[in-house]
Amino acid sequence: MTAPPELLTPTSPAEAAAAFGDGAGVTVLAGGTILLPELTYGKLRPTRVLMVGRAGMSGVEASNDVVRIGAATPVGELAGAPDPLVTAAKHVADREIRAVGTIGGNLCATAGDSAPRGDLQAPLLALGARITSAGAGGETTEDITAFLERGTGRLVLSIEVPTGQAFGYSRLDRPHTHHYTMLAVTAVKGADGVRVAASGVGDRSRRLAGVESALAGGASAADAAARANEGLDLPTDALASAWYREQMLPLLVQRALGQLG
């Protein structure tokens, strides 16, 4: 019989970072909506589990032009964060899952076998969020694009999101008890131009480089949207085929850009 994992239960962010160390052999458990089934069915057999639920890592605080969100804040408690993050959060799963699943877990989620996950990554990418994490080399704060490109291996402590930016958001839902979003697009007009990101387009959400560079070059929304699929390897899952996503993504981009004004 396999020995049960050692449970680490920090009571502050500093204790959590110390317990995480360089992350070797540590599995982070937040709301557990993804991890618990994997543990229950033996897909994952960790030796040490770091539970962040009581580490004082939740809450939404606004100061000046930035909102700071603790990584263990439940998806259902993001009121006070900037849109379209709040709107996208309302479409994650159902009330029960949103009460337990956290923004940190969503940020670190990869797509499931049958449906996308990590729906909040796209609004965070478009909003230009900055991620503070602990791990090898100590605490760092970096742009979310760099954080997601590096992949897992760090403990997310908090997420900072700038406020006051114009945005557009459009999505395709599939009627389902648990309310999955098959594809969603967020566009945000920042000081450095328009950032456009999509969820449901692969393992994680992605910025749409073709669209962004077309807009930077002065293209119309329609012409920029026509480049939505550039560089993507769209998935087929239980919600939609890659072909359907390829047809729909440019339309969603055009709708989101149309809301920017």
Ligand X SMILES: Cc1cc2nc3c(=O)[nH]c(=O)nc-3n(C[C@H](O)[C@H](O)[C@H](O)COP(=O)(O)OP(=O)(O)OC[C@H]3O[C@@H](n4cnc5c(N)ncnc54)[C@H](O)[C@@H]3O)c2cc1C
109 binds ligand X (CB under 6 A): yes
* CA 13, chain centre distance (Å): 21
Contact between 122 and ligand X by CB under 6 A: the answer reads no
- Residue 57, amino acid: M
Choices 6-14, 105-113, 136-144, 161-169 (CB under 6 A): range interacting with ligand X: 105-113
Binding span for ligand X by CB under 6 A among 26-34, 161-169, 234-242, 248-256: 26-34
Q: Which residue is nearest to ligand X (CB)?
A: 105
Q: Which is nearer to ligand X, 16 or 224 (CB)?
A: 16
Tell me which residue of 196, 205, 197, 256 sits closest to 235, measured CA to CA: 205
Phi, psi torsion values for 187, nearest 5 degrees: -125, 135
Does the protein bind ligand X through residue 76 (CB under 6 A)?
Answer: no
**Residue choice 70, 84, 105, 210 for contact with ligand X (CB under 6 A):** 105
Instruction: Give the integer Cα–Cα distance in Å for 100 and 12.
Output: 19
How far is it, in rounded angstroms, from Cα 152 to Cα 252?
29
- What's the min distance (Å) between Cβ of 97 and ligand X? 5
Q: Does 34 engage in binding with ligand X (CB under 6 A)?
A: yes
Angle formed by the axes of helices 242-258 and 209-216, nearest 10° = 30
Q: Which of 147, 167, 169, 180 binds ligand X (CB under 6 A)?
A: 180
| Contact (Cβ atoms closer than 8 angstroms) between residue 84 and residue 181 | no
What are the tokens at 89? 């959060």
**Residue 35 touching ligand X (CB under 6 A):** yes
Residue 224 contacts ligand X per CB under 6 A: no
**84: cis peptide before it, omega within 30°?**
yes
Q: What are the counts of helices (DSSP H) followed by strands (DSSP E) for the chain?
A: 10, 12
From candidates 10, 31, 70, 84, binder to ligand X by CB under 6 A: 31
Q: How far apart are CA 146 and CA 58, in angstroms?
A: 23
28 binding ligand X? (CB under 6 A):
yes
Decide: is 97 part of the binding site for ligand X (CB under 6 A).
yes
- Residues engaged in binding ligand X (CB under 6 A): 27-35, 52, 71, 75, 92-93, 97, 101-102, 104-106, 108-109, 117-119, 155-156, 178-181
